Amino acid sequence: MNSLSQKLRPLDGSSSQPLYQQLQRSLRDAIDRRLLSPDDALPPERDLASELSVSRITVRKAIDGLVTEGLLVRRQGSGTFVCARVEKNFSKLTSFSEDMRARGRTPRSVWLRRAEGTVTPEEALSLRSSPGTPVYRFHRIRFADDAPMAVEYSTVLASCLPSLEAVESSLYEALEKSGNRPVRALQRLRAMLFSAEQAKLLRANERDAGLLVERLGFLKDGSAVEFSQSWYRGDTYDFVAELSAPT
């Protein structure tokens, strides 16, 4: 018999740590140690509860937490599965929505702000535009299924979109429709610790490790179209680059 309970560290009813937290920790541990692999299905909550001799509420609470952390995903009608960490190939100029769909995840955003304005001195430098140039600002929390992955602040030259409302679920889709999707980009990565505000938006803890990704996107004619700063949760995202030897 190779049931899930045999792969999990036993729960201790006499411990001061609540059972759901213990179960969460042992599931997290089993995922980290690859005793549970990406796309493995978890048994139904009722079966898991009886296997482990705990209540269904305990199991549900433990799973809810891991879904929020992005380690598990609930797929309607088919159950709960172990998520693959999202691997982002560096050499392709793809959008968040495309990256998530390519991995079988559903992209979703919560809007924080959508506004018209003019470039700040800092943006003017990055976007290589003159002071006073009209821009649109899009601030979003980006989700993969139910798991928050990043907080993203994008500034786009207003001349590249027909209106502020043109962006629905995907910025690149809107830019593509207007013939202004970037074809080249400079990208910079920096490790950082989340501030209290960022942590709250991403359901993480203050001072958890994160990754700041800045992208400056260019059109074919070499002019800049987009400057975005994305704060990714460090625990759900892997950036992967394929390297070849110099010729």
Task: Indicate whether 135 belongs to the interface with ligand GLP (CB under 6 A).
Answer: no
Strand partners, 136: 116, 156
Q: What is the DSSP letter of 41?
A: B
Task: Indicate whether 58 belongs to the interface with ligand GLP (CB under 6 A).
Answer: no
User: Which span sits near ligand GLP by CB under 6 A: 5-13, 169-177, 197-205, 233-241?
Assistant: 169-177
Q: Contact with ligand GLP (CB under 6 A): which of 20, 136, 172, 218?
A: 172
Strand partners, 111: 140
Task: Provide φ and ψ at 55, rounded to 5°.
Answer: -80, 160
Q: Select from 92, 86, 85 the least CA-distant residue to 215.
A: 92
User: Which span sits near ligand GLP by CB under 6 A: 40-48, 68-76, 190-198, 222-230?
Assistant: 222-230
Task: Indicate whether 232 belongs to the interface with ligand GLP (CB under 6 A).
Answer: no
Q: How many helices and strands, by DSSP H and E, does the chain display?
A: 8, 10
Task: Indicate whether 236 belongs to the interface with ligand GLP (CB under 6 A).
Answer: no
Task: Indicate whether 97 belongs to the interface with ligand GLP (CB under 6 A).
Answer: yes
Q: Could you say which residues in the range 184-213 bind ligand GLP, by CB under 6 A?
A: 213
Residue 5: count other Cβ atoms within 10 Å of its Cβ: 16
Query: Smallest distance from the beta carbon of 98 to ligand GLP, in angstroms?
Result: 7
Task: Indicate whether 151 belongs to the interface with ligand GLP (CB under 6 A).
Answer: no
Work out the burial of residue 159: count CB atoms within 10 Å of its CB; fewer than 13 is exposed, 13-18 middle, 19 or more buried: middle
Task: Indicate whether 218 belongs to the interface with ligand GLP (CB under 6 A).
Answer: no
Query: Smallest distance from the beta carbon of 45 to ligand GLP, in angstroms?
Result: 32
Task: Indicate whether 180 belongs to the interface with ligand GLP (CB under 6 A).
Answer: no
> Three-state secondary structure along 124-149?
HHHHCCCCCCEEEEEEEEEEECCEEE
Residue for token pair 């920096």: 190
Query: Smallest distance from the beta carbon of 230 to ligand GLP, in angstroms?
Result: 5
Query: Smallest distance from the beta carbon of 152 to ligand GLP, in angstroms?
Result: 6
User: Which span sits near ligand GLP by CB under 6 A: 7-15, 79-87, 171-179, 194-202?
Assistant: 171-179
**Amino acid (1-letter code) at residue 226:** E
Q: Is 149 strand, coil or helix? A: strand
Q: Is 37 strand, coil or helix? A: coil
The whole-angstrom separation of Cα 58 and Cα 70 is: 19
Closest to ligand GLP by CB, 20 vs 143, is 143
Task: Indicate whether 54 belongs to the interface with ligand GLP (CB under 6 A).
Answer: no
Q: Please name the helix (run of DSSP H) or strand (run of DSSP E) that holds residue 32, with its range, or none.
A: helix 19-32
Q: Contact with ligand GLP (CB under 6 A): which of 63, 83, 160, 171?
A: 171
Q: List residues near ligand GLP by CB under 6 A.
A: 95-97, 107, 152, 154, 170-173, 213, 215, 226, 228, 230
